[in-house]
Structure 1
Amino acid sequence: MCGITGWVSYRADLTQQRAIVEQMTATMADRGPDAGGIWLRPRAALGHRRLAVIDPVGGVQPMSDGEVALTYSGEVYNYRELRAELVALGHQFRTNSDTEVVLRGYLAWGDQVAEKLVGMYAFALWDGQVDRLTLVRDRMGVKPLYLYPLPDGGVLFGSEPKAILANPAADRVVDTDCLRELVGFTKAAGWSLWKGMTEVEPGTVVTVDAGGLRQRTYWELPLLDHTDGESATVERIRSLLDGVVGQQLVSDVPLGVLLSGGLDSSAVTSLAAGNTTDGPLRTFSVDFIGQEERFVADEMRSTPDGPFIRDVVDWTGSKHQDVVLDPAALTDPELRRAVVRSRDMPIGLGDIDSSMYLLFKAIRAESTVALSGEFADELFGGYLWFHHPAARDANTFPWLAFQNSHTTDRTALLQPELRDALDIGGYIADQYADAVAAVPQLDTVTDPLERRMRVNCHLHLTRLVRALLDRKDRLSMAVGLEVRVPFADHRLVEYVYNTSWALKTFDGREKSLLRAAVAESLPKSVVERVKSPYPTPQDPAYGAALQVQAADVLAEPNSPVFDIVSPDWLRDAVRHEAATLPGATRLGLERVLDLYHWFDLYRPKLQLTS
């Protein structure tokens, strides 16, 4: 896993811009702590930071063959099969890396190499024979890639916005349109917080040459008539999962699994343990000091993770490490700044992001690669709002319709004039209409619930999950850890997406198909466990610490935070009794503090108009 960046210009001589390209590349040193390099030609500059996972000695980048050069991030899991195919075509290899397979795959098949790859990846190829840049992103969007067109017809690109923003040609402007999505959380296609910057869509090839920028979709969720019965479907999912997990264990560096004790991560753990031959599998989990002993069930979490984690460890014989965090450490402003810097935006998830960052940092001390259970809830229908009629049937995104004690009006903390200008309700309605219009339906399916759930599943796989994959990538790569996502394998996604909602819930529970597919591979306690979200500290002292830091923000009335945030809202939040601080208010404080540090780190220029 790595960080990539680059610059294409059809007017300037980029061989004279080494210093700027080095600055762009250096912003991603955390993504690639093992090595870095740049490749310069008059029309193109490529930068790379490397996290060595496959062929540490041979896979140095940017990698070139004559005037064709590649900067590549990710893993291609079928690279050995593609290498054999390329050798049969007469290609000779200098390394054992998947990077060279991608390069020689382009030389053999052009940009249609994308259709042959199985994995998570984002890469850029400069073909000096025709002065053309090709950008490719994996089907599900596991690896990020951003694009910034330039007035001269060229482009800047990078794994993260910070790489693009390091170039003086990129303006650090955030306007009203940019803020609408930050607040609305619909994961609009191609959105970036920064004006003029877009995210390359998953499953897309972008080409840039002197004639302009073009893109084509090489993959999207297929609409298929699922004809397998219940038992055949369960068996097929079991077989696919076993093959996918086995394929994703390939690594030339230490590897482990993220284990929460939930169905998803436990399934990955068990399957990985069954495919591991070089000693016990390493597993890792996160908890907070005293959390299990003082655990209080609520509407989102009915059980602590600890007992279920121990059951899986005993079952699989893994070598386990509990990463136990002090909730007080999560309030460290420097930790918050590191998280905001990793994500390039003030997302406002607070302790969820900061604890995940610390978890990944602890894992990185032991392993370079970790497998995760991410994506299973979106694929198999695990979230509460899939099964809550009011949220399921609402004419909006289900995750926005779902209401509990932690949900909040995301506009409540905004300056009143800005709230009116953003019109978040109208924005969400427009995005929902666009998203629903893009969902294909089978004419043979007439049941209203089935058609509704086809829409909801599509929204999760093309919208919500992309935001969560981005979080996982940014926080893990910020500490040089590669996290793989077996449930995001496109072959598994194609199959499960096309099963009916009746099949997905055949036993009356969430994730019925996954539960049945892995039932024999896990202890009964885990198979029967009700979904529990990622843990957060329940200590009220955490919220009190947020209030103290927010009071410091209030003491700076000229802070740019107050171009966005209402000081009256913040004043009321700071004065609230800490012991009874509502979850919604706590989340609001997290957003304010993220904004405060984001302004300091990025110095954005706001263009806020009605």
Structure 2
Amino acid sequence: MCGITGIFDLQAQRPIDVPLLEAMNQTQYHRGPDEGGLHHEPGVGLAHRRLSIIDLSSGQQPLFNEDGSVAVTYNGEIYNFPELTRTLQSAGHTFRTHCDTEVIVHAWEEWGEACVERFRGMFAFALWDRNRETLFLARDRLGIKPLYYAALPDGHLLFASELKALMAHPDLPRQLDPCAVEEYFGFGYVPEPRSIFAGVHKLPPGHTLTVRRGQGGVPASRAYWDVPFAPLPAMGEAEAAEELVRRLREAVEIRLVAEVPLGAFLSGGVDSSAVVAMMAGLSPDPVRTCSIGFDDPRYDESEYARMVAERYRTAHRLDQVNPDDFDLLGKLGALYDEPFADSSALPTYRVCEQARRQVVVALSGDGGDENLAGYRRYRHHLGEERLRGLLPLGLRRGLFGSLARVYPKADWAPRVFRAKATFQALARDAVEGYFQGVSILRDDLRRHLFSSGFRSELQGYSAVDVLRRHAAQAPTDHPLSLVQYLDMKTYLPGDILTKVDRASMAHALEVRVPILDHKLVEWMSGLPPEMKLNGSEGKHLLKKAMEPHLPHEVLYRKKRGFAVPVAEWFRGPLRQRVRDQVLGPRIGESGLFDMDFLNRLVDEHTRGARDHSPALWSLLMFDEFLAKARP
């Protein structure tokens, strides 16, 4: 993996500030500590930090075509590059290296913008074509690799793998985007294409951006791929399970090419265990596996990881992590640049740190829950949808909306008496209902959280509009497939893949995700929904397919989250820190929040009257962001 950054003059061919470009590049040193590269010419500067994985002796970037007119700076892996190399050589292109990077420049020459449709892998790159005076930005289909960009008032376009590289430019506007703030407190991250800053954007997954000098600004990005959810030809469960194993094995196999030590994360869950099982069948040597354990049995899954490691005789390393590992809190703001409220970022950082002691490349099981319906919230959503289907939306809104307003909130009561939340759910449409299931802070809580001035600034905008926008483009209307699609557009790139990218790159570790191979994703999306969620059993087909390969206890145990005890921290060792930061000057001076309400949240939580840990964690991470965001 690598880090890329650059500057492009949209209007003319003004000289590039080379020391500034170097400074932007150095902010991403952690992404590529092996080498740094720089290219500049009038109006264009490209920079690169390299983590050497393939073709260690060559492949330095920026990399050029034969006559030097096309240059690329690239972050990622294109797994089908040997096949593409042969195709391009037969078309007359000459290769000087044995790395996947060179495929990009020749593919651009041969196929233009459509080149990305040929690539199988994870990537974010910027390509400069001098003859066409064109800058071409591209991001992989699922959003495994990040790419930010911003147009400055002076007519320059900046781009980079991480926001911190853009923030190294003194002219980058740092005005907060009010809609992004609302989205952050709705989702716990800022979904694409927004960033926390109004003038900075993320290139969405499966999109490209073509910018030509003198065309008058930055055009809209173009989508080149989407999850199809096109039904497959009819097949029985046994046939589908056999095909799933074949396709997963092939996706794993093409990700085993590396000239550096390679291994896998092994959490003890179904997805990572399935990946390790496939690796073990493909490798003549023991697979290197890494996992972490917790002293607290509520969070520890190391016993299940040990079962898989013993079955496949992996070279397994287990590190115990203290569940009170909150020393990293101060680093998260610098690591993620934007506010990021997934507390599992802490153990993810530690498992990447541990893995890097053994390997430079690690395969992970990310993507299984989204593709094969592993989240419990899918089951809950389908249950709510069945109830909502009994009455028209207009009738439900009037009837259950009124009941929800008058029924008292009773979090303290047994579940059977907590009817307020049920009434609220029945009064919503499908997208609203799902948003409330994934939102870290409910609509009413966000309304109280924000100051009256900030609520006016939002002008009625709500984070649920993110899901509505994607739902309007969805290629499916099946209740399960729709919410899987929404997660693939939001939660997967915005939370899961962002978390893994930043945590792994902080340690110069490359993570490959075979379950997110786009050919495998396309196939899985077309499976009948009942093969994914069968009754109350999520990932049904994967579990059936893995029965010959994995212990029953691993496949059919209760799912646990990769969580940390935040609620206890905030009443114990972090009690004063929460009060100091949530009620401190940065939060207060931002003008975004109702400070009286924040006082109430802190007081109720520390007294044990209510669990406000999601809200307090979100605020704590927002304060960490504010501390790092000041020029």
Q: Give the TM-score normalised by structure 2.
A: 0.85
- 2:50 counterpart of 1:50: yes
Determine the C-alpha separation between the residues in 1 that align with 2:123 and 2:453.
38
After superposition, the C-alpha distances for 1:314-345 in whole angstroms (9 at most, x for unaligned) are 111111112222233x322xx22322212111
Are the structure 2 counterparts of residues 169 and 589 from structure 1 closer, same or farther at C-alpha, using a change threshold of 3 Å?
Answer: same
Matched, 1:256 2:249: no
Secondary structure, counterpart of 2:431 in structure 1: coil
User: Secondary structure of 2:150's match?
Assistant: strand
Shift of the 524–426 alpha-carbon distance from structure 1 to 2, 3 Å rule, reads same
Q: What is the DSSP-based 3-state SS (H/G/I as helix, E as strand, rest coil) of the residue aligned with 2:24?
A: helix
Contact 1:187 1:464 in 2 (8 A): no
The correspondence of residues 153-302 of structure 1 with structure 2, limited to 5 A, is: 154-185=156-187, 188-209=191-212, 210-212=214-216, 213-214=218-219, 215-229=221-235, 230-277=237-284, 279-288=285-294, 290-292=295-297, 295=298
Does residue 464 (structure 1) correspond to residue 491 (structure 2)? The answer is: yes
Which shifted more, 153-162 or 185-194? 185-194
Equivalent residue of 1:454, what SS?
A: helix
* Partner residue in 1 for 2:452: 417
Match of 1:169, SS?
coil
Matches within 5 A, 1:355-434: 355-389=347-381, 393=385, 395-396=430-431, 400-402=435-437, 411=446, 414-417=449-452, 420-421=455-456, 427-434=462-469
Quote the Cα distance in structure 1 between the aligned partners of 2:58 and 2:246.
33
1:451 offset after TM fit, Å? 2.1
How far 1:559 moved relative to its partner? Answer: 5.5
Give the alignment partner of residue 319 of structure 1, picking from 315, 319, 337. 315
For residue 30 of structure 2, give the secondary structure of its aligned residue in structure 1: coil
Matching residue's letter, 1:563: G
Comparing 406-415 with 537-546, which one deviates more in the overlay? Answer: 406-415
In 2 relative to 1, CA 512–554 (structure 1 residues): closer, same or farther, beyond 3 Å?
Answer: closer
1:331 aligned counterpart, secondary structure: coil
**Per-residue deviation, residues 467-493 of structure 1 (Å, max 9, x unmatched):** 121221122112211111111111111
Q: What is the CA distance between 1:111 and its match in structure 2?
A: 2.4
Q: 2:621 aligns with which of 576, 579, 594?
A: 594
Aligned-partner residue type, residue 273 of structure 1: A
State the match for 1:489 in structure 2.
517
Aligned to 1:74: 76
CA contact (8 A) 1:287 1:535 kept: no
Secondary structure of the equivalent of 2:338?
Answer: coil
User: In the superposition, relative to structure 1, how do residues 554 and 124 fare at CA in structure 2: closer, same or farther (>3 Å)?
Assistant: closer
Change (3 A) 1:218 1:532: same
> What SS does the corresponding residue of 2:462 show, helix, strand or coil?
helix
The letter for the 2-side match of 1:379 is N
Structure 1 counterpart of 2:117: 115
**Structure 1 residues 464 and 403, CA, compared in 2 at 3 Å: closer, same or farther?**
closer
The alpha-carbon distance between structure 1 residues 124 and 558, as it changes in their structure 2 partners (threshold 3 A), is closer
Tell me: CA distance 1:577–1:199, structure 2 relative to 1, closer, same or farther (3 Å): closer
Find the aligned partners of 2:98 and 2:280 in 1 and give their Cα distance. Answer: 26
Equivalent pair of 1:561/1:595 in contact (CA under 8 Å): no
- Cα 1:223/1:571, change in 2 over 3 Å: closer
1:513-532 equivalent positions in 2, closer than 5 A: 513-532=541-560
Counterpart-to-counterpart distance in 2, 1:24 and 1:403: 35
**Unaligned ranges ≥5, structure 1:** 296-300, 442-449, 605-610
> How far off its partner does 1:405 sit?
11
Of 334, 337, 354, 1:341 maps to: 334
Which amino acid is 2:262 matched to? Answer: L
- Describe the superposition over 1:125-157 as per-residue Cα deviations: whole angstroms up to 9, x where unpaired: 101112110111111111111121234554211
Gap runs ≥5 in structure 2: 386-428
User: Residue 24 of structure 1 contacts residue 163 of structure 1 at CA under 8 Å; is this kept in 2?
Assistant: yes
Q: Which residue of 2 aligns with 1:446?
A: none
Q: Decide whether aligned partners of structure 1 residues 44 and 510 sit closer, same or farther in structure 2, where only a CA change above 3 A counts.
A: same
Amino acid at match of 2:40: L
Code of the residue aligned with 2:256 in structure 1: it is: L
> Any idea what the Cα deviations from partners look like across 1:183-242, whole Å, max 9, x if unmatched?
222865412111121111211121111224444322112242322312332222111101
SS of residue matched to 1:250: coil
The answer to which of 305-314 and 532-541 deviates more is 532-541
Question: Aligned pair in 2 of structure 1 residues 216, 423: CA closer, same or farther (>3 Å)?
Answer: closer
